[in-house]
Structure 1
Amino acid sequence: MFNVLLVDDEPWVLEGLRTMIAWEKHGFRVCGEASSGRDALRMVQDYRPELVVTDIRMPMLNGLEFMEQSNRMLEKPPKFVVLSGYDDFEYARTAMRQRAAGYLLKPVDEEEMDALLAILSRKIKGEAAAEDRYARRQQLAINHMINRLLHGEYREDLMAQACRLLNIQGRERICCLLIESAFGFDEMLRVVKGLCTKGEGVCFQDGSGRNGILLIGTDNRPMDGHPEEPVQGIYRRITELTGSPATVCVSQQSEGIRSFREAYVQAAEISQIKQAQGKSGLFFYCGNVFADKRRQLQSDRFKPLLDKVRSQSPEEISANVKEIFSCFAADALDIENIKAQVADLELSLCRSVQEMRGQPDACLENFSEGYGSLGEIHDFSRLQTYVEGMCLQAAGVLRELERQNEGNTIFHVIQYVDREYRNKLQLQDLAKQFHLNSTYLGQLFKKNTGKPFNEYINDKRIEEAKRLLKRSSMKIAEVAVQVGFPNTDYFIAKFKLKTGTLPSVFQKEAGSSAGKEGEEPSC
C-alpha cells in the first residue's frame, strides 16, 4: 500500500477526501491529515508518503510554498495533487513547476479523482520497480567490488573505482561485521538503511554466502577499538526481528580502503571459533583469539550471573558480581575487554526483558539515567557498580513482568487452548502468539494447570473422545480426527494409557450400559 497525506485547512474537505474517495481500490491508504502547510511539512518528513493531496490557499505556509520546500528538503519528494477553489491558470502553472502530478478544482469530482489515482498508482509502481532494479544492479556491483578487495586485489584503478562506487575518499575508518542468523540479505539491507546514515553501512555477501556489513567512517564512542554504535543497534535489531539467536562478529576499526581485507579476516576468525563452539551473541575481535583461551573462560563468568538475574535473586546477584570482578582483578584483565563482555551481558538482559513482553529500550534508558553510559566508564570500581546496578534493576523488571504476565496472559492462553484443543497446537507457536518465551510459557502453564502442556491437551482430547464414544456411533478413526489427534494409532495408545482400556472396548461397554438403562423392567 502507498501512503497518502491529505492537506487542507477546511475540516469538511479533509473528511470528504478521507471518506468519499476509494483510496484502497488503487493501493493507497491515508497515513495522516494536516490543516496547515507547516504541519504538512513536518508530517511529510515523518511519514514519507508517496502522494500528497494539498489545498493551495492556507494560512502561514500555502500549498505551493509547502510543495517547494518539500521538493527542496526531501531526497525523494512525494507526488502532489493540488486542490483549488479558483479556476486560475497561474495557480496551475505554478503548481506544475513544483512537479505537481495533478490539478483539481473544488469540490472534487469523485470520478475525476478516481481516474487520476489510477494513473498515479501505475506511475508510482513503475518508478518503484525501476528503483528496485537499479538498487539491485548497484548492490551486485558493490558486492562484486568488495569481494575483489577482500581477496587482496589492491590495484590503484580498482581502489579508485571502489571509492567512486561506495562514495568514499578511501581514508575513512573501517569496521567489518559478519552475521550468522535467520536473517536474509534483503532484510539486512533494510536494517542497515534504517540504522545507518547514507554511505555509512555497506552490505555484502562473501564467497560462502555469509552476510556482512562494512561500517565506513564510524568513530562514535570507540569500545576496545570497535564502534559501539551502530554495532549494538544492528545486533539488537536483528535479534528483535528474527526472534532467534544471532552471531555477530565485529572486527577492530582500521583506516583506509586497503584495510578491508584485514577487517574481514578478523571478523571471520571470531566467526569460525564461535561457530565451532555453537555460541550466539555479539563478539568483538581482541587480538589473536586463537591464542587467547583465557579470555574465553573470562567471558563465561557472566553466564551464572545472567541465570541469577533471570531467577531474580538479589543477594546472589550482588555476591556473584563481587566474585566475578575479584577474578578479573586477579587476571589483570584490561578494562576495555571487560566492557565488551558487559555490553554482551546488557544485550542478553534486554532479550530477556523483551521475551517477557517488556520494553528493553525503556529499561536501558532508565538505567542510563541512574548509572550513565558504559562508554564513559574507565575504572573497575565504577564498572562493578554499573554491572551490579544493571543486574539488580533487570531482575526487578523481570519480576514485575512475571507478575503481570502470570496474572493476565496465562489466563488467555488456557482459554485459547480450551477452545482450540481440537486443532494442531504447538507450545512454540503459542509462545510466539502471546509474546512469551516458550520455556517460560511451559513452566507457567504447568504451574497454573498442574499438567505439562502436551499432557493437558491430550487429556482434553481424550475427555472429548469419551463423550463422542458414548453418545455417537462414530468410528474410532473418525473420533481421533474429530478431537485433534494426528493419527488413529497415536489416539489409541494415548486413550489406553489414560483410561486403561481401548477406545473400541470403551465404546462397546458404554453402548451396553446405555442399552441396559433403556430396557423395560421384566415382569
Structure 2
Amino acid sequence: MLNVLLADDEPMILKGLMRIIDWEAEGCKIVSAVKNGEDAYNYIKDNKVDLAIVDVQMPVMTGLELIGKVRSEGITDTDFVILSGFRDFEYAQEAMKYGVSDYLTKPVKASQLESAVRKVALQHVSNVQENEMHEKLRRGYLIQYIYSLMIGKASPKQIDYIKENMKLEGAINYVVISLNNIAKLDEMTDEEVDDLKNKIRENCEEFLGEYKDHFLDENAADDKGYDMSFIFCESMASSKKMTDIEFFETLRKKAMSDIPVDLTILVGKTINDITKLSHSYSSTNTMITLRGLHSDKNVFIYDNDIHVSSHNLAKSMVHKDALDNLIAAVVRRDDEAIDQNVDELIERAGSVDYKTVNLNMNYLMFQLIHRAVEIDEMVEQDNILLYIGDDVFSSGEDIRVQLKKFSHEYAEYLEQLRQNAASGGLIKEIEHEIKDHYAENLTLRDLGAKYFINSSYLGQIFRKKFGMSFKDYLNNYRVTVASEMLINSDRKVSDIAADVGYRDVDYFVSKFYEVHGCTPTKYRRNY
C-alpha cells in the first residue's frame, strides 16, 4: 500500500483528487491532504510518504520549491507528480530537473491520474524488489564470509566486509543454539524440522533486534542440520541492561516459545577480535561432544565449564593409564572390569568436581568415538556421545555412578555397531518392517526396541542409507501404495488414506501433493 499526500490550495480540487479515482483499488492510501507547500514539507519530513501529488502554484511554498527543498536536503525518496493549470514548458522543464515522476495539467482526468499513480506504483514495486535482492545478496555475502572466517580462510577484504556489516562491540563469542531430544527430531520429516528451525530463528531475531544480522541459521559443524548459531558481542547484553548469562538465559526462553523441543545454549571461547572467530567456533565443537557431562545446564559456557589451566591439564592427565584400562574394558564389554576401573579412576583422581574431571572425560570420550568409527565409518563422529549419552550424566547422581552407567551403555552401543557391521542386514530388516506394517504407527523408538539397537543410531544409519529421515521414507512408501490403489480401484480417497496409515485425510492429501505435485483425485483422473 502506497502512502499518498495531496497538496493543492484550491479546496474543490483537493476534494476532487480524493474522489476522482478509487485509491484503495490502486493500492494507495491518502495519508494527508494539505493546502500549501510548507505544510506538505513538514508532513513529508516526519512521516513516510511514497507519492506526493502537488500543485505547482501554492502559497507560502510552491510545488517546485517543495520538491527542490526535499531533494536538496535528501530527507526522503518520495516520488512527486506535479499538477499545473498551465502548459508551460519552463515549468515542466524545471519539474523534470528534480526528477518528478509525471507532470499533469488541470483539469486532471481520472485516466491520466490512474496512469501516473500506476507508473509510480510499478516503480515502487521494482525498487522494493531491488532492495530485497540487494539485502539478500548483502546477507548472503556476510554469512559466506563469516563461515570462511570460522575456518581461518577469510581474506582481508572479507574481514573488512564483516566488520562493516556487523555491530561488533566488546568481547565476542560464537554461540550454538543446540536442539535437544535428538530421537524426537529423527522421527520428524525434514520439512517439519525446517519449520521448527524457522520458528526458532524468528523468535531469536525478534529478541536480537538490531543485532539480527548476527544470526547464522546453521551451525557449520552440524552435518544433520539440527543446530543453529549466532555471533554474540558484549554490547548485545549491555544494550538490554543484562549480564551475559541473563542475556543467554532470556534468549533461550524466547527461542523456545511455541516449539516442542528443548534447547541448550553453548557459548564458545571468548575472543577480543572477530579475526579470531575460528578459536571460539572450534571450542563449541568440543562443547557439543562434552555437554552430556553438564546435562543440568541450559546455558553451557566454555570459559566457565570447559577451560582448564595448563597446570590442571598436567595434573588431570596423570591417570591416563587408568583411563586406557577403562577404555579397553568398555571395548571388550567386560562389565566387571568396567566397574573396577571406574572405581580405581575415581579413587586416584581424588576429586569429582567438573573442573578436575573435564579433561579426563574429554580424553575418554574422544578415544571412545575413535573406537566407534573404527567399527562403523558411517556413524556421525561429533554426535555419537550426544546420542548414546542421552540422560546418562545427571547432576543428581554421584560421578562414580554416572561414569559406570555411561561406560556400560557405551559398551552396549559398540556391540550394536559390531552386530550391524557384521550382518549388514539391519536396514533390510527395517525395510521389510515398513513394507509389512506401513499402515501401522511405526516409530524408530519401537523398531529400535524390537531389534535391540539405539533408536537415534538407527535413525542416523537410515538417513545415511536413503538420504532422508525415517518418517519421510515411511510417508513416501505410504503414498506409493496409495497411488497404486487410486489407479487400480474406485474406492474413496478417505478409505485409501486410512488403509495406508493416515487417520487425517487432509494430512494424507498434503503428503500426496508433496510427492506427486497434485491431489489424489487429480492423480486418479490423469492415470
Higher relative contact order (CA 8 A, sep 6+): 2
Q: TM-score, normalised by structure 2?
A: 0.41
Q: TM-score, normalised by structure 1?
A: 0.41
